[in-house]
Structure 1
Amino acid sequence: MRAPRARVARRPVHGVLLLDKPLGLSSNDALQKAKWLLRAEKAGHTGTLDPLATGVLPLCFGAATKFSQLHLDADKTYEAVALLGIKTSTGDAEGEVIAQRPVNVTEAQIAEVTRRFTGRLRQVPPMHSALKKDGKALYEYARAGIEVERAPRDVEIFELNVALADVVQGHTAINIRAKCSKGTYIRTLGEDIGEALGCGAHLTALRRTATGNFDLSRCVTLEALEAMTEPERLACLLPVESLLPDHIRVTLDADDAGRFLSGVRRRGHWPDAERVAVYGEAPHALLGSAHIKAGELIPGRLLSPPEIQQILEYPESKP
């Protein structure tokens, strides 16, 4: 009989962990593993990666979860490998082969599709995705053999590089590197490029190398995290304000900081701004987000006084 698993004593942890998500693990499973290793009370992520995708997955803990929604809008960068000549039911290696065609691709064609798929595009979301239809994920319909109508979505590919790759499994392949707007499906991009080349394609590998201002150079793996001591794990956390890189900073004195934290607007000589990160002067600490209109600082998402105190008490969590 298996012994019961020891109960982990949870604690308040605040910050952002940049995880290099491993292959085969869902984003939620990766989150739960990291949450267990940090013994964190509260956690969430800023958008998912498919189990077959690896790479940058920002995980938010404690007060950082209040700002995780902001990062969903961030631009993303991906690297992928697409196998030409074979289409699958899912657009990746998990699906069944549904069509095969010969491949006769030239460098000129590669250059043309690179030009054609750079810029604004309209994509039809794949059936095997987490996008909701009538409160139900599309992949649930797909697993039941039901295909539903999906409205095309406007996306933008800011930078695109497509190049012939080494032969994969005896087939011609291409490497794709794309910096794109939120909501872009790289599987769909790979399939569409394959169609434009006249042979079809499906992804065999997908790696997210950057999301917003976060990239792989700052990521840690679950394996490395497991080998660390607890102080070392805490030291991997980026501060909560790392989620607010494009926010202008406003610092308030003690009196105004207290009122701001109570949700009261403050007046000052500030220019209008949509994104503001508000700090207390003494002690210097993030209070929350806001926007400024006509000289008024209007509170948005606010940290609670206990959260602020807990962050101040864990200086080792600020690299």
Structure 2
Amino acid sequence: MNPQQRVRLPRRALHGVLLLDKPLGLSSNDALQRAKRLLRAEKAGHTGTLDPLATGLLPLCFGAATKFSQLNLEADKAYVATLRLGQTTSTADREGEILREREVNFSDEQLQQALQALRGEIDQIPPMHSALKHQGKALYELARQGVEVERTPRRVCIHALELLSHAGETMQLAVRCSKGTYIRTLAQDLGELLGCGAHLSALRRTQSGPLDLAQAVTLDQLEDMNDEQRLATLLPPDTLLADCPQIRLSAEEAGKLLAGIRRRTSAAPAARVRAFGPEPLAFLGSARVAGGELIPERLLSPVELQTLLAGPASLT
């Protein structure tokens, strides 16, 4: 065998969540495919993209966990944003053409007023360099052709916007916001309120729903691990529902839930709960509690449950 040829190991059914610290310059899909290869996973997906310019938390879902990826897509996010003051660009980030340069000259009071004006519910006009569709075409494709179309403002919520540092033309902010917020647009709008213009020069995602960057691993770290260590980085499939209440069911009740049957419950009403069977039965899936009933929603299959119960030893 040619020593340069790699032995192709078979893919396997993995079920869990990997918190990845995505590197600069790599697309979310490229990062996903590298992690999928390293883990030899059959099925994988991510919970919303991070631009190649951005780094930080990218939750990756494997197997059964992909059923709950939409929950994290809709969750609030937190970022550390670095702004370059005094310059506006065609893309509102550092990759665009510089359109205008202005002097950076504002007081602390003006800065605090500008930050306050952008907190809470605000309307944002989506940038042309975005993946939003217009008549079936992504806006960034039109922008590359020199075409600009009218965009409808979108209501988003900036839960927190705090100054971390400011030195000369560089400013760093901590942002916590609702889904669909464009941090590039936020940077650009702040620059206009300050009268000097600004664009986003770096972005790092630190939180996504209940998940935190502190728990994440890098691709380089994943590369350096052996197979057992890589498997140990996977969090349980219910990780994406970590902020939902938990309900423990008897074996009989679990069987009914998995069959899609509603059952009476004394649990408090909840839009979403995590349902578990009796020990050592694994996570069963998500349900909701309404009108005194436990109503099944997204459930694991018998095969997925068997794999989870068998544990990591069965995957090697």
Structure-1-length-normalised TM-score: 0.93
User: 3-state SS of the aligned residue for 1:103?
Assistant: coil
| Alpha-carbon distance in 2 for matches of 1:264, 1:31 | 35
Which of the numbers 299, 302, 306 marks the counterpart of 2:299? 302
Aligned partner (choices 212, 215, 226) of residue 212 of structure 2: 215
282, 286, 289: which is aligned to 1:285? 282
Q: Give the Cα separation in 2 of the matches to 1:2 and 1:148.
A: 54
Does the residue aligned with 1:199 lie in a helix, a strand or coil? coil
Residue 259 (structure 2) pairs with residue 262 (structure 1): yes
Is 1:106 aligned with 2:107?
A: yes
Q: Which residue of 1 aligns with 2:229?
A: 232
Length-normalised TM-score, structure 2: 0.94
Give the Å deviation of 1:80: 1.3
Alpha-carbon distance, 1:256 to partner: 2.2
Equivalent residue, structure 2, for 1:61: 62
Q: Distance in 1 between matches of 2:18 and 2:152?
A: 34
Instruction: Work out the CA distance in 1 between the residues paired with 2:157 and 2:40.
Output: 39
Answer yes or no: is 1:132 the counterpart of 2:133. yes
> Which position in structure 2 is the counterpart of 1:18?
19
| 1:118-129 superposed matches below 5 A | 118-129=119-130
Q: Which residue of 2 aligns with 1:75?
A: 76
1:245 matches 2:246: no
Query: Cα RMSD over matched residues?
Result: 1.9
Deviation at 1:164, TM superposition (A): 5.3
Task: Quote the offset at 1:179 in angstroms.
Answer: 0.9
What's the counterpart of residue 7 of structure 1? Answer: 8
**Whole-Å separation in 1 of the counterparts to 2:28 and 2:210:** 20
CA deviation after TM superposition for structure 1 residue 279, in Å: 1.0
- Partners of 1:231 and 1:117 in 2: CA distance: 46
Letter in 2 for 1:295: G
Unaligned runs of 5+ in 1: none
Same amino acid, percent of matched pairs:
58
Q: Secondary structure at the match of 2:80?
A: strand
* DSSP 3-state at the match of 2:158: strand
Contact 1:130 1:138 in 2 (8 A): yes
The range that moved more, 29-38 or 305-314, is: 305-314
Name the structure 2 match of 1:146.
Answer: 147
Partner amino acid, structure 1, of 2:93: D
Q: Is the 8 A contact 1:155 1:182 kept in 2?
A: yes
Q: Distance in 2 between matches of 1:174 and 1:26?
A: 25
Other-structure match for 1:198: 195
In the superposition, relative to structure 1, how do residues 15 and 165 fare at CA in structure 2: closer, same or farther (>3 Å)? Answer: same
Which residue identity does 2:280 align to in structure 1?
A: P
**Bigger shift: residues 91-100 or 157-166:** 157-166
Gap runs ≥5 in structure 2:
none
